[in-house]
Structure 1
Amino acid sequence: MQPLKIAVAGAGAISEFHLKGWQAQEAVTIAAICDPDRAKAQEQADRFGIAEVFTDMAEMLDAVRPDAVDIITPVGSHAPLVRQAADRGVHVMCQKPMTPTVAEAESLIADVGERVRFMIHENYRFRPHYAELGKRVRAGEVGEVRHARMTVRASAVLDYPGKVPFLLNRQPYLANFKRLVVFEVLIHHLDALRSILGEMTVVNAALDRMNPDLAGEDVALIQLRTASGALVQIDANIAAPGHPPLPADRLELMGKADTLIYDRDRITLLSKPDDVSMHDLAANYQACFTGAVTDFVHGLRSGDRFQTDRLDNLETLRLMELIYRAAGVEI
């Protein structure tokens, strides 16, 4: 098995799950980590046994010369950091969203070209429950899908008085995002739906805000169509007090032959109501990070296409941007 040396850029809240994913790989060494806040980088280095710590990615790449870098930084920094890696011949896995806009993503993809392998860490399609749904739809359990309805609920950005909402406590900068629930949260769901149903087009969209202190939207109602003509609806609210802090999802897949329902932690085919597939959502949360890292490592070693390579992820980014345009939001 080809040994791989990895560097990590970014030591924020999400880095823990990336690092656990890297630790689960065989013959992979996490050689270095960097963050502008050296104390954060050192904390993760001590926790995960990483030998070298830096505050600058370019300096880290020049000193360590890794095979690949995992970029886990705010979205505005992605493009320059990816270019730094590509200029040094270092393969890249970059946290979603790839860039703030489709135009910036297209420019970045063109600049990187084929110089290095380039994957976006878009991990929802690697969640075991969504992977199972995709497999069962492709196996024909519901026949041709004609209607899909997804609901997403969370108290991520609005909680009961006196409580700091989960997402704003973990990532306070999100309060200033002018595009929030679709850009930051539903982009995951759009990619998962693409992996299950194929490509989609936007029919219409409406956005709203329940938390007046936010710059962006926290509610979205979206209608899409698949290439085969199926109607897809997304009803999302991440400012719903009393709901779990992390998004809880429900997805109905209604086909010509049957209906398959995913609801929080279980999957049920309605013709077989007693045959329920149960999922441990806490375990699945880490599993999707590990699954994305595993796909990246496999692709590097085998030459196989990454499931969420930069061209595939560009389609998810385009869908996200089209939703905003349909809702009358200028990009």
Structure 2
Amino acid sequence: MSSGLRVGLVGAGMVSAYHVAGWQAAEGAALVAIADPDPARAAGRAARVPGAQVFSTLDEMIAAVDLDVIDIATPPATHAGLVGRAQAAGLHVICQKPLAGDAARAAAIVDALSSSSRVMVHENWRWRATYRALRTALKESRIAAPGRFEFRVESAGLLKDASGLYPALQRQPFFATMPRLLVFELLVHHLDVLAFLFGDVEILAAELSRRCPAVIGEDRARIELMAGGMPGVLTADFCVEGQPAAPKDLLFIDAGGKPVVDGWELNLPGANARRWNPEDAYQASYTSTISHFIDCLAAGTPFETPPQEALKTLRLVDRIYEIAGWP
């Protein structure tokens, strides 16, 4: 960690651990305050950050601490109010995805943006080392121009483990009560990755279903789409025997039998497979996202994922639910 931008984090839930570690690893900023309605959670996160102050609300934090940036890691329903209050105080904002609960609410956030500060959406999946390296290979034509893709996302997170528990619900209990689950919470990442790799995405068809009795939202999806004018299929399933509890990505390009992306492994034609340590690489995706935010603020350059781009992705999410007839 280095001094520079003074950062306040709002939200001390599960994902905030990666935010804290990201700010500590990034150059040009220092995490100095954490706010959460649960004092014990906030104190637990702050214990990892020497000197960090703890608050119950964003407003208390802004009033008491000299800040430059607010990092929002709270549920989507809270984002509009937090972004607005941070901007009203002249503070730059980095906000966890999804930007809002649906495209209409995200559009309201975009319409209310102030020129007094800058806002970026924290979309870390595109900062995974596998996808950064693949995009570079595509841009450098080290892969022949693809004509079709298949993107699979597989997990055993909603199958009971040996202890009789659902791993995904142990990690993120709120999944159980989300009426829109798999697409809204997870595939929003993959829609962004497809746009990042290939170009604008268009949804053609979608089927959603649920198998796990412990959730009310969808846990299985099949989506036909176009990305950069290229046809493809995006499938996802939280109930796949033999897969890890954490979602695993498999990206196939054209008719090749071997995935180009296989979890944390990249297989490019004519090259040896590249592998990353999953735990280290997952954290690095958060750190890289935060570093991009810091660098763009310093240079005055555009963010890769401004709110306007996040709005486009949420419109795709809404379209999937509409086509599938899901509540």
**TM class by shorter-chain length?**
over 0.9
Q: CA deviation at 1:109?
A: 1.0
| Distance (Å, rounded) in 2 between the aligned partners of 1:210 and 1:115 | 47
| Distance (Å, rounded) in 2 between the aligned partners of 1:176 and 1:245 | 19
Distance 1:266 1:27, change over 3 A: closer
| Distance (Å, rounded) in 2 between the aligned partners of 1:2 and 1:283 | 24
Q: Which position in structure 2 is the counterpart of 1:249?
A: 249
More off after superposition, 106-115 vs 259-268? 259-268
2:9 touches 2:33 (CA, 8 Å); kept in 1? yes
Q: Which position in structure 2 is the counterpart of 1:287?
A: 284
| Distance (Å, rounded) in 2 between the aligned partners of 1:40 and 1:17 | 14
CA-to-aligned-CA distance 1:119-168 (integer Å, 9 cap, x gap): 11110000000111111112122332210101111112222364322221
1:2 touches 1:301 (CA, 8 Å); kept in 2? no
Distance 1:260 1:217, change over 3 A: closer
CA-to-aligned-CA distance 1:66-91 (integer Å, 9 cap, x gap): 10100111111111111110111111
| Distance (Å, rounded) in 1 between the aligned partners of 2:18 and 2:268 | 32
Q: Which position in structure 1 is the counterpart of 2:274?
A: 277
1:33 touches 1:41 (CA, 8 Å); kept in 2? yes
State the Cα RMSD in Å.
Answer: 2.0
2:191 touches 2:201 (CA, 8 Å); kept in 1? no
| Distance (Å, rounded) in 1 between the aligned partners of 2:284 and 2:322 | 33
Which residue type is aligned with residue 69 of structure 2?
Answer: A
Which residue type is aligned with residue 185 of structure 2?
Answer: E
Distance 1:141 1:258, change over 3 A: farther
2:28 touches 2:294 (CA, 8 Å); kept in 1? no
| Distance (Å, rounded) in 1 between the aligned partners of 2:98 and 2:267 | 31
Q: Which position in structure 2 is the counterpart of 1:300?
A: 297
Q: Which position in structure 2 is the counterpart of 1:313?
A: 310
Distance 1:259 1:215, change over 3 A: closer
TM, length-normalised to structure 2: 0.94
| Distance (Å, rounded) in 1 between the aligned partners of 2:90 and 2:295 | 18
Q: Which position in structure 2 is the counterpart of 1:55?
A: 56
2:8 touches 2:70 (CA, 8 Å); kept in 1? yes
When the two structures are aligned, how many residues end up with a matched partner? 326
Q: CA deviation at 1:284?
A: 1.2
| Distance (Å, rounded) in 2 between the aligned partners of 1:267 and 1:85 | 39
SS at structure 2 position matched to 1:149 = strand
Q: CA deviation at 1:39?
A: 0.9
Structure 2 counterparts to residues 260-271 of structure 1, below 5 A: 261-270=260-269
1:143 touches 1:258 (CA, 8 Å); kept in 2? no
More off after superposition, 215-224 vs 166-175? 166-175
Which residue type is aligned with residue 276 of structure 1?
Answer: A
| Distance (Å, rounded) in 2 between the aligned partners of 1:37 and 1:26 | 29
Distance 1:161 1:277, change over 3 A: closer
Which residue type is aligned with residue 105 of structure 2?
Answer: E
1:159 touches 1:240 (CA, 8 Å); kept in 2? no
SS at structure 2 position matched to 1:152 = strand
SS at structure 2 position matched to 1:109 = helix
| Distance (Å, rounded) in 1 between the aligned partners of 2:23 and 2:76 | 21
Q: CA deviation at 1:281?
A: 1.9
Distance 1:260 1:218, change over 3 A: closer
Which residue type is aligned with residue 231 of structure 1?
Answer: P
Q: CA deviation at 1:329?
A: 2.3
Which residue type is aligned with residue 159 of structure 1?
Answer: K
1:176 touches 1:215 (CA, 8 Å); kept in 2? yes
Q: CA deviation at 1:259?
A: 8.6
| Distance (Å, rounded) in 2 between the aligned partners of 1:8 and 1:300 | 17
Structure 1 gap segments, 5+ residues each: none
SS at structure 2 position matched to 1:322 = helix
| Distance (Å, rounded) in 2 between the aligned partners of 1:132 and 1:265 | 12
Q: Which position in structure 2 is the counterpart of 1:5?
A: 6
Q: Which position in structure 2 is the counterpart of 1:43?
A: 44
Q: Which position in structure 1 is the counterpart of 2:191?
A: 190
SS at structure 1 position matched to 2:302 = coil
Q: Which position in structure 1 is the counterpart of 2:98?
A: 97
| Distance (Å, rounded) in 1 between the aligned partners of 2:141 and 2:296 | 28
Q: CA deviation at 1:7?
A: 0.4
2:207 touches 2:324 (CA, 8 Å); kept in 1? yes
Q: CA deviation at 1:27?
A: 3.6
2:203 touches 2:320 (CA, 8 Å); kept in 1? yes
* Matching of residue 88 in structure 1 with residue 89 in structure 2: yes
| Distance (Å, rounded) in 2 between the aligned partners of 1:115 and 1:247 | 38
Q: Which position in structure 1 is the counterpart of 2:221?
A: 220
| Distance (Å, rounded) in 2 between the aligned partners of 1:88 and 1:177 | 32
Runs of 4+ displaced beyond 6 Å: 257-260
CA-to-aligned-CA distance 1:178-202 (integer Å, 9 cap, x gap): 0000000111111111110111100
TM, length-normalised to structure 1: 0.93
Structure 2 gap segments, 5+ residues each: none
Q: CA deviation at 1:2?
A: 8.1
